Structure 1
Amino acid sequence: MPDHHPAPIVVDTDGGLDDALAIVLLARSPGVELVGISSVHGNVTSGEAAANSARLLEVLGDHTTPVAVGASAPLAQPLHLSHPNDLLRRALGRPRRRTPAPSPAAEQIVALAKEHAGALDLLTLGPLTNIANALRLAPDLPRLLRRVVVMGGSFDGGNITEHAEANVHHDPEAAEEVFAAGFALTVVPLDVTRNAIATRSWLRALVSAAPRLKMKAAAALGLLAARGKKGPRLRMHDALAAAVLLDRRVATDHHSAPVLVALDGDRRGETTAGTGDRRPATIVRAADVDEFRARLLEALSG
């Protein structure tokens, strides 16, 4: 049986398409209690990311999980958005009834960690600004959380610079604070997630199995785009990190090392596996992408 666990989960998201796939996978997996979502700048603004998550939960029939608006800018550098055209909002539209939670994201994360002390898992899918802010509110946060799974970092070349992965590069200071804080940390880096591609055969299966016309149409458009060798490809970075959180056996190879973030020069935002006194992270080095795609297809077809 898969290693599904009953632990509650909070998701920190920057509102992209693959973030939505991750949330769907969590929401439709047995034994998962989604207790909160927080938004952060990254793909889109934190406000738009919150609206996207609220609308997605409406589509999934979830009208109770709180969605909190988080940090609108990095700790120490100007804001940069990866996808300001907001493809997810174009696909889903605006929330129809839901409004943001009254507390900011960092406060919500701390409150949930205290409410579920020692049992809460945190999945981060964007820059780590909210988590750094939560640490400043509650320095004992690493003791309160059971586990933190981060989609971010790269140990073999980046996707926003030659050396840096986008989530870390959007706020290197926040990432360095989080990686140094002593969390029970699993890092699912770009080196692994860049292999989580929506293949043509997978998209064809989704066209056949998806229960909603919009989803069938989206899969069909993705299939058309995937026909060209140089056409856009849907990489499901965040959904793979969610699958690792749900079942650690999806990660077929990993090693333990402290993770360091470069804060200066042309390597700013680069992550490296180092040495030192900080608590080692579990760094995923390989994943069963076929098993992941099968699980995601089941969730989307439910």
Structure 2
Amino acid sequence: MSARALLLFTLALLAVLVLLSFIVPPRQWSTGEQGAPPLPVVAGGPPIELPRRVWVDTDAACGHALDADADDCFALLVLLRAAEIDIIGISAVAGNAPAAAAAQIARDLIAQVAPAPQVYHGPAARIALQAALAEGPLVIVALGPLTNIAASLRERPDLRHNVARLVAVMGRRPGHLFHPSEGSGTGILFGHGPVFRDFNFEKDRAAGHEIVAMHLPLTLVPYEVARGLRLTAADLARLETAGGAAAWVARRAHGWLRFWVTVVGLDGFYPFDALAAAYAIEPALFDCADAGVWIARDARRGGTRFGSEALLVGLDSERAEEPLASSSAYYCVRMSPEMHDWLMARLIDR
């Protein structure tokens, strides 16, 4: 057999093997549901008291593109309407949309609700966040990459003690794959559908590294908990019927829903960021574990020599031997069964 024929045969064989791998039932994929040691999860906790003062950092993108991720806008609306907190400021960060676009989307949403704090982006975001921290303890809700927060605290390390808690939408167990179909979808390739990234972390790994190394009080509201709730076409229709800001957000979420229905293969989308907003308002709605966090290549996803660094969560026995950074965090794995009704009521403001 000639070298060319051997190469063609090898490529054809590899293509067949790849296609055969997609016939494997999705639940046999590495979803993180099997093999990971159980975490010490506390129902409704661990108990925590948060100050009323809240800063929101967002990469809001609803309406930025036809299929743009819309859940930042759901989170912002929930936070803006929460009587339990005082929003001190809002900053925009590049993520699902450029920072300037995210800032304008946040301003447009705020205009649908009521007068609210100013929205900052660029260097002004860091200055404003530093000024807010200088005035006292603050909960920071990070709905996007940690770029602004890391830069602010790098420049002013004396203000780190006033971060009462950083609530971030990121993190995963070792070996966990962000695969939303997970055996129940009808999306592409025998229902396997797409595999997501840990987007907020991967958009700025350096910032994530810095934040973990700062040992701030940290809560992670990850993909793992978000997959317990979907917002569907019926939910968007209900929000549109309610009118006002709820309808404004719902109309800008139809493209995102269509992506989940046609590509992912589910009847609704996971409202990732809205759950971080819920935690900042009422943390007892979540069952979370006080766990270790570290940044390293995932030995269960390609070994330590290959792949990018990830923000991993688990027991001390799972921790990488030489992580780039390590700390601890509350890692939320379940939510109250009342969360759907709670969230819809907050969005409609009833």
**Aligned equivalent of 1:69:** 121
| 5+ long unaligned stretches in structure 2 | 1-47, 62-69, 181-193, 298-303, 320-324
**Shift of the alpha carbon at 1:239?**
0.3
How far apart, CA to CA, are the structure 1 residues paired with 2:250 and 2:119? 28
Q: How does 1:75-224 map to 2 (within 5 A)?
A: 104-115=124-135, 117-118=136-137, 120-155=138-173, 156-158=176-178, 164-211=197-244, 214-215=247-248, 218=251, 221=254
**Aligned equivalent of 2:41:** none
State yes or no: 1:271 paired with 2:318.
no
Q: 1:222 to 1:4 in 2, by over 3 A?
A: farther
Residue-by-residue CA offset, 1:52-105 (whole Å, 9 max, x unaligned): 11111111122x4111103xxxxxxxxxxxxxxxxxxxxxxxxxxxxxxxx621
**Shift of the alpha carbon at 1:30?**
1.5
Q: 1:273 to 1:300 in 2, by over 3 A?
A: closer
**Aligned equivalent of 1:93:** none
**Shift of the alpha carbon at 1:22?**
0.6
How far apart, CA to CA, are the structure 1 residues paired with 2:118 and 2:230? 30
2:289–2:330 CA contact under 8 A, matched in 1: yes
In structure 2, the residue corresponding to 1:122 is in which secondary structure? Answer: strand
Q: Which of these residues, 13, 31, 37, is aligned with residue 58 of structure 2?
A: 13
**Shift of the alpha carbon at 1:168?**
0.3
Letter in 2 for 1:245: A
2:171–2:222 CA contact under 8 A, matched in 1: yes
How many residues align structurally? Answer: 263
1:54–1:67 CA contact under 8 A, matched in 2: yes
TM-score (norm 2): 0.66
**Shift of the alpha carbon at 1:233?**
3.4
2:109–2:245 CA contact under 8 A, matched in 1: no
2:92–2:119 CA contact under 8 A, matched in 1: yes
Q: 1:214 to 1:242 in 2, by over 3 A?
A: closer
| 5+ long unaligned stretches in structure 1 | 71-102
**Aligned equivalent of 2:329:** 281
**Shift of the alpha carbon at 1:281?**
0.7
**Aligned equivalent of 1:293:** 340
Q: 1:198 to 1:109 in 2, by over 3 A?
A: same
**Shift of the alpha carbon at 1:137?**
1.1
Q: CA RMSD in A?
A: 3.3
2:80–2:87 CA contact under 8 A, matched in 1: yes
TM-score (norm 1): 0.75
How far apart, CA to CA, are the structure 2 residues paired with 1:108 and 1:49? 17
Q: 1:262 to 1:201 in 2, by over 3 A?
A: same
Q: 1:217 to 1:186 in 2, by over 3 A?
A: closer
In structure 2, the residue corresponding to 1:110 is in which secondary structure? Answer: helix
Letter in 1 for 2:224: D
**Shift of the alpha carbon at 1:31?**
2.5
In structure 2, the residue corresponding to 1:260 is in which secondary structure? Answer: strand
**Aligned equivalent of 1:256:** 290
How far apart, CA to CA, are the structure 1 residues paired with 2:285 and 2:91? 25
Letter in 2 for 1:111: A
**Aligned equivalent of 2:4:** none
